[in-house]
Amino acid sequence: MAVKAVQRRELTFWEKLYIPQIICGLKITSTHFFRNLFLHTAHLLGRLKNVPASVTIQYPEERRPLMSRYRSRHRLTLREDNSPRCVGCMLCETVCPARCITIVPGEHPDPDVEKYPIRFDIDLGMCVYCGYCVEVCPEDAIRMDTGILDLAAYSREAMRLDIHELMGPKLRKPISDCSLEFPHICASADGEMKGGWDSVPRSKGS
Amino acid sequence: MPSLTIDGREVSVPKGTTVIQAAEKMGVFIPRYCYHPGLSVAGNCRICLVEVENLPKLQVACNLPVTEGMVVHTGSEQAEDGRRAVLEFLLANHPLDCPVCDQSGECDLQNFYMNFGLYDPRFREQKVKKQKAVQLGPHVMLDQERCILCSRCVRFTDEITKTGEIGIFQRGDRAKIGVYPGTELENPYSANVVDICPVGALTERAFRFKARVWYLSSAQTVCNGCSQGCNMDMHYVLDRPHLNEGARVVRVKPRYNPDVNQWWLCDEGRYGLEWIDKARLQEVRGPGDTANADTNSGKATWEQALGAISKSLAEWKAEDVGARIGVIASAKLTNEELFLIREIFRDALGAQVSAWVPEDPGTCDEFLVKADKNPNTRGATLLNLTSPDAPEAERIVDEALAGNIDLLWVFGYDLVEGFGEQKVRELGEKLKLFVYSGTNENPTQALAHWGLPSAAYVEKDGTFVNHHGRVQRIGRVFSPLGDSREDWRILLELGGLLGLQLDWRDPQEIFLGLADAETAFAGMSYGTIGDQGVEVACTKPTEGVTAPW
Amino acid sequence: MVEILLIKLVVAGLVFAAVLNLAGFHTWVERKQSALIQDRIGANRAPIFGFTMLGMFHGVADVLKMFTKEDIVPDRADKVLHTIAPFFSVFFALVAFAAIPFGPPLHLGDRVIDLQVAKIDAALLYVFAMLSLGVYGVILAGFASRNNYAIMGGLRATAQMISYEIAIGISLIGVIMVYGTMDLAELVRAQGQLLGGWVPFWGIFAQPVGFIVFVTAALAETKRLPFDLPEGESEIIGYFVEYSGMKFGMFFLTDFLETIVVASLATTLFFGGWQVPYLTEDGFLFPWGGQLPVQNWVYVLLGVASFSIKGLIFCFLFMQLRWTLPRFRYDQLMNLGWKGLFPIAVINVVVTAFVLAFLGGSS
């Protein structure tokens, strides 16, 4: 094993005395202390508001802006008729290294679409936020741009997002009533199929 | 025997062989769409272009007979360029909806594009719209946009089934596949067009959106739908139960066997496998349990069942009244199991054993479908379980009703269907011991004293003999569902409890014992059977045996 | 007699209340001061009726939390000693305040009240005895927990405290020699003189080296950074690993109490205690000849204020040091104690003795 000897600087006499160095240290900490004390007092009095006294971000009230490529909670993008863009190709389910995606496809009445998910679950308890599902999606149907970071839940079941929560990122479990109209396996109906294509306003051309 | 050189290697082939066959023989794969070894040569897809020295242009390998001294280059730059251009033409109007296409993953368009295509598409014009999601018949969906007009399906219906439902309509870039007006693609072999379709134009309705093909695992097995014993590959998914509603078998594809089914499989066999995953017997039911007991408490176990049955059998044996034991075996059992039944019940206990059950003959044709819907009637015959000196099932039931039989063991056969519920109920009251072992729920098992769940044939190893006398190994695809056990395991254990000297541990060893005992199987082993099977020593049906129907 | 007892009880109660409140206040100061040093905001939630008072109620919340937390005693621990140990710690830290004079004698009618809980001739020795006994709490806690890490922490603490007590003791011999007394009240009174008519005759001017040695060693006694090896709560595991709830809180409180003790002692010994420069019992007597007579109660008030302010400045300084310096390694700690402070203190004593002898034993 190669050994590299690092030459450390010899301490000078004053440094060895230690006390002057302590005073240097105290000078730094005290500068911060008194500067911030002054600024905080000024802020309380309504002055110098433009000079920040601390770097703290008061988290729940204040949020740091996320990078545009930040990977937050998933969502399913929608068509004009509020049905999912997803065509149930299961590439995300295939590529997912954590195997947290569960898709059951169904037949779409529009032969140009053919396929759509009647069930689409993402188990956030297992998700590793790699973003491969977004990368692999040929339809831009899944994105991780909701900016939702607080994903804690009281049960594993609640960590399992179903199609309602994925299509409406503001929804959280328990979902009392379902507003989705196309046929899907519905959590609010005990996992039974619910909905029909007749009530979905069809966009022209189909 | 002209000899030619393909990719620098010399090969001699019979006269009349085409270049694509010659190349195939020496292991060189030439891309093809329209060419299929089981069909006539159409030569219209042009993807099998090869370079032949001294010929000015590229030639289609599928339609080019070999000549003496021919020098062929299959992978030369010129050949690949030609193929790439052909592929670009074929894909010009292709919708590229691979994400929703059930073929993607096993699609030759995808494969060849990735193998030698990899061009940047130059087609800027509007693609021609055609019909999508057309139902051709009970089993087949058509997507006209994905079709490359290779005409394999047309030739299949013309040449193999000779029904001719499919044709090509219109001309030019509007040409499309379809069925003739007023007809449906509903011949007994219709789903084969899906297998031969090289792209996603023809897909199975039963497999539609069930799974993606890369989720599927595959295992070799043999169809048990009739005595033809077609070879097939079973495709299944075990790790994604949300697909296919939890059923393990997702689809079945024919496996090439030139002596049995070639490339084909009938629809009846292809779609007749639901029973493997549905309404299966999964728990041992003893005399104390009701047929549909929900509670787990007091459930009988295999130990109790086999202990009780073997105890009764041992008593009869001690009293030397073996003739009061009746066994109705089944031609759905493997040779190994039938052999064990014969060894234990007929030879050691002296019981009356029959594998000959009354059944109505099913549909049949001259191609693959046979009227005998039991996969192993020939095997039972070879083991002398259906010959005239063996009793018939009907006689056993009559004797039991007459009080001459105390114990009856039925393997898989639904007595209620054959003899009516009244008789079976009477049997349940009269018999001292009434055992039913089978795979699925049926009325007979509910009336029997003991209901033993046995494994489906894809859950056990073993061999069938088809009507032609070909011994074929069925192979084991799954492990038995729930508490069910393979019949050979039940029989071996029972033999052990009865103190019989059966020193075999698995079907392979049982088969070796069978091969020793029966001249028809002499010298065979699982090794010699392989995955294509072998013919038994005497291929003619035994003299004097007529089928019961 | 009863009156004296009552007066003493009142004085003791005052000291007790002041010290404990100051210790509680310290938790807030610690949070806020460190936050300001590190450009943070610090604890600012914990509202009472919507008021947060700059996070001051966090101390209250802490106490509530400590009291309501489960008190876990390890299964095979010595239950009695485990319970007694934190009380030992707090008790000796509190008792040390008894001997510290926090103001000049108060004249109430014709009664003279000493602002000192106990007037002891050898008060200095008493204070050090109490501080030394504090080590029992630590070693008992480590010992009674039946935890190898705890007892190692306890042993570390014991070794450290005993080592540094020697340096403290010797550093103060100089002070005792200069002022010729061990009575703290006398010592403070002696510091009221002026040196050369201008400079107050405080310990810092008489014994600068002794002061530095004292402050360093005394910091080590408080077991706070940079000498917090006995505890090292975030990483090295100290003697109180097995403590929870208010018992743990008491160890924590001890730290703050000891800081206040040390601050008070430094004030008393080196910064003239309650002395205000140029202020005598009769009023201000400035060296340039000015004069400002004050009432006795003003004098006492100024004295108490002087003591308090000096003490608080020391508390601030210690806190600032705690957030400035990193922790010593154990060998460095022992080197500093035995090879640094101890010889310096000894030399200081010898030099002081020579100087005093040279000056002709002026006091």
* Number of independent structural domains in chain B: 3
Chain-chain contact of C33 with A28 (C-beta, under 8 angstroms): no
Per CB-CB distance under 8 Å, the chain B contacts of A94 are: 212, 214-215
Mean pLDDT, rounded, for B447-469: 92
Q: How confident is the model at residue B289 (pLDDT cuts 50, 70, 90)?
A: low
Chain-chain contact of B99 with A107 (C-beta, under 8 angstroms): no
Task: Tell me, yes or no, whether B55 lies in a domain.
Answer: yes
Pick the last residue of a domain from B169, B186, B209. B209
pLDDT in tens, chain C (363 residues): 788 889 889 999 999 999 999 998 999 999 999 999 999 988 888 888 888 888 889 888 888 999 999 999 998 899 999 999 999 999 999 999 999 999 888 888 788 888 888 888 889 999 989 988 988 999 999 999 998 989 998 998 899 999 999 999 999 999 999 998 889 998 998 888 887 778 888 988 889 999 999 999 999 988 887 888 887 777 778 888 899 999 999 998 998 999 999 999 999 999 988 888 888 888 888 888 788 888 888 889 999 999 999 999 999 999 999 999 988 889 999 999 999 999 999 999 999 999 999 887 554
The pLDDT of residue C59 is 87
Pick the last residue of a domain from B177, B209, B241. B209
Over chain B, what is the mean pLDDT? 89
Mean pLDDT, rounded, for B217-239: 93
CB-based contact B473:B223 (threshold 8 Å): no
pLDDT tops 60 at residue B542: no
Task: Tell me, yes or no, whether C62 lies in a domain.
Answer: no
CB-based contact B240:B284 (threshold 8 Å): no
pLDDT digits (tens, 9 = 90+) for B301-329: 899 999 999 998 888 877 777 778 899 99
Tokens of B57: 């242009």
Cα dihedral angle (C80, C81, C83, C89), rounded to 10 degrees?
150
Q: In whole angstroms, what is the distance from residue B372 CA to residue B364 CA?
A: 8
pLDDT tops 60 at residue B292: no
Task: Tell me, yes or no, whether C33 lies in a domain.
Answer: no
pLDDT digits (tens, 9 = 90+) for B407-450: 899 998 888 888 888 888 888 888 889 999 999 988 888 888 89
Pick from C33, C41, C325: which is nearest to A54 by CB? C41
The pLDDT of residue B288 is 66
Statement to judge: residues B87 and B175 lie in one domain:
no
Task: Tell me, yes or no, whether B544 lies in a domain.
Answer: no
Nearest to C81 by CA among C7, C153, C138, C159: C138
Chain-chain contact of B212 with A112 (C-beta, under 8 angstroms): no
Residues 6+ away with beta carbon under 8 Å from C10: none
Three-class SS of C144-191: HCCCHHHHHHHHHHHHHHHHHHHHHHHHHHHHHHHHCCCCHHHHHHHC
Task: Tell me, yes or no, whether B427 lies in a domain.
Answer: yes
Chain-chain contact of A107 with B97 (C-beta, under 8 angstroms): no
pLDDT digits (tens, 9 = 90+) for B362-373: 888 888 999 889
Per CB-CB distance under 8 Å, the chain A contacts of C320 are: 26, 29-30, 33
Q: In whole angstroms, what is the distance from residue B45 CA to residue B43 CA?
A: 6
To test the contact with chain A by mutation, choose from C34, C37, C335 the residue with the greatest count of A C-beta atoms within 10 A, namely: C37
Statement to judge: residues B129 and B63 lie in one domain:
no
Range of the domain at C217: 75-359
Task: Tell me, yes or no, whether C15 lies in a domain.
Answer: no
| Minimum distance, in Å, between the CA of residue B93 and any CA atom of chain A | 15
To test the contact with chain B by mutation, choose from A85, A86, A87, A89 the residue with the greatest count of B C-beta atoms within 10 A, namely: A89
Nearest-Cα residue of chain A relative to residue B209:
A105
pLDDT tops 90 at residue B152: yes
The pLDDT of residue B291 is 46
Pick the last residue of a domain from B183, B209, B235. B209
Instruction: Identify the residue whose tokens are 């997803």.
Output: A86
- The CATH number of residue B155's host domain is 3.30.70.20
Task: Tell me, yes or no, whether B267 lies in a domain.
Answer: no
User: Interface pTM (ipTM) of the complex?
Assistant: 0.86
Mean pLDDT, rounded, for A56-67: 88
Nearest to B438 by CA among B373, B487, B380: B487
Chain-chain contact of C324 with A56 (C-beta, under 8 angstroms): no
Mean pLDDT, rounded, for B281-306: 72
The pLDDT of residue B445 is 87
- The CATH number of residue B365's host domain is 3.40.50.740
Task: Tell me, yes or no, whether B237 lies in a domain.
Answer: no
Tokens of A163: 């199609």
The pLDDT of residue C289 is 79
- Between B300 and B70, the more confident residue is B70
Nearest-Cα residue of chain B relative to residue A106:
B209
Range of the domain at B39: 3-92
The pLDDT of residue C173 is 92
In this structure, what are the phi and psi dihedrals at residue B304, rounded to the nearest 5 degrees?
A: -60, -45
Tell me the CA distances in angstroms from B263 to B41, B155, B225, B468, C88, one per residue in order. Answer: 16, 14, 17, 18, 92
Chain-chain contact of B133 with A114 (C-beta, under 8 angstroms): yes
CB-based contact B227:B464 (threshold 8 Å): no
Residues of B with CB under 8 A from a CB of A: 97-100, 131-133, 208-209, 212, 214-215, 242-243
Question: Vertex B279, ends B396 and A183: CA angle to 5°?
Answer: 155
Q: Is B149 helix (H, G, I), strand (E, B) or coil?
A: coil
Task: Tell me, yes or no, whether C48 lies in a domain.
Answer: no
Asked which of B108-112, B140-144, B254-258, C119-123 is least confident by mean pLDDT, the reply is C119-123
Chain-chain contact of B243 with A139 (C-beta, under 8 angstroms): no
pLDDT tops 50 at residue B61: yes
Per CB-CB distance under 8 Å, the chain B contacts of A102 are: 242
Taking residue A203's Cβ as centre, other Cβ atoms within 10 Å add up to 11
Tell me the CA distances in angstroms from C260 to B344, C207, C350, one per residue in order. Answer: 96, 22, 30
CB-based contact C144:C78 (threshold 8 Å): yes
* Number of independent structural domains in chain C: 1
The pLDDT of residue B130 is 93
Taking residue B519's Cβ as centre, other Cβ atoms within 10 Å add up to 12
Q: Is C210 helix (H, G, I), strand (E, B) or coil?
A: helix
pLDDT digits (tens, 9 = 90+) for B178-193: 999 999 999 999 999 9
The pLDDT of residue B548 is 39
> Inter-axis angle of helices C123-144 and C79-95, to 10 degrees?
160
The dihedral of CA A38, A39, A43, A49: what is its sign? positive
- The CATH number of residue B85's host domain is 3.10.20.740
The pLDDT of residue A203 is 57
Tokens of B453: 């769940």
Residue ranges of E strands in B255-393: 325-328, 352-354
Statement to judge: residues B380 and B449 lie in one domain:
yes
Mean pLDDT, rounded, for A63-76: 91
Subunits in contact with chain B (3 or more CB pairs closer than 8 Å): A
Task: Tell me, yes or no, whether C168 lies in a domain.
Answer: yes
The pLDDT of residue B545 is 40
Q: Is the pTM of this model over 0.95?
A: no
pLDDT digits (tens, 9 = 90+) for B76-117: 999 999 999 999 999 999 998 999 999 999 999 999 999 998
Subunits in contact with chain C (3 or more CB pairs closer than 8 Å): A
Q: Is B421 helix (H, G, I), strand (E, B) or coil?
A: helix
Pick from B209, B214, B242: which is nearest to A115 by CB? B209
Cα dihedral angle (B309, B311, B315, B321), rounded to 10 degrees?
20
Q: In whole angstroms, what is the distance from residue C95 CA to residue C117 CA?
A: 10
Q: Report yes or no: A11 at the C interface, CB cutoff 8 Å.
A: no
Q: In whole angstroms, what is the distance from residue A162 CA to residue B242 CA?
A: 14
pLDDT tops 90 at residue B177: yes
Statement to judge: residues B80 and B161 lie in one domain:
no
Tokens of B46: 């042009």
Nearest-Cα residue of chain B relative to residue A114:
B100
CB-based contact B202:B136 (threshold 8 Å): yes
Task: Tell me, yes or no, whether B272 lies in a domain.
Answer: no
> Inter-axis angle of helices B421-430 and B393-402, to 10 degrees?
50
Per CB-CB distance under 8 Å, the chain A contacts of B132 are: 111-112, 114
Q: Are chains B and A in touch, 3+ Cβ pairs below 8 Å? A: yes
The pLDDT of residue A191 is 79
Statement to judge: residues B290 and B200 lie in one domain:
no
To test the contact with chain C by mutation, choose from A24, A32, A36 the residue with the greatest count of C C-beta atoms within 10 A, namely: A36
Tell me the CA distances in angstroms from C151 to A120, A197, B423, C233, one per residue in order. Answer: 56, 73, 86, 14
Task: Tell me, yes or no, whether B233 lies in a domain.
Answer: no
Q: Report yes or no: A33 at the C interface, CB cutoff 8 Å.
A: yes
Nearest to C231 by CA among C248, C218, C247, C209: C248
Per CB-CB distance under 8 Å, the chain A contacts of C321 are: 22, 26
CB-based contact A84:A139 (threshold 8 Å): no
| Minimum distance, in Å, between the CA of residue A35 and any CA atom of chain C | 8
Task: Tell me, yes or no, whether B493 lies in a domain.
Answer: yes
The pLDDT of residue A181 is 86
The pLDDT of residue C126 is 92
| Minimum distance, in Å, between the CA of residue B147 and any CA atom of chain A | 15
Statement to judge: residues B67 and B155 lie in one domain:
no
Q: Report yes or no: A89 at the B interface, CB cutoff 8 Å.
A: yes
Q: Report yes or no: A91 at the B interface, CB cutoff 8 Å.
A: yes
Task: Tell me, yes or no, whether C27 lies in a domain.
Answer: no
Residue C353 belongs to what H/E stretch?
Answer: helix C342-358
Pick from A26, A30, A55: which is nearest to C39 by CB? A55
The pLDDT of residue A202 is 65
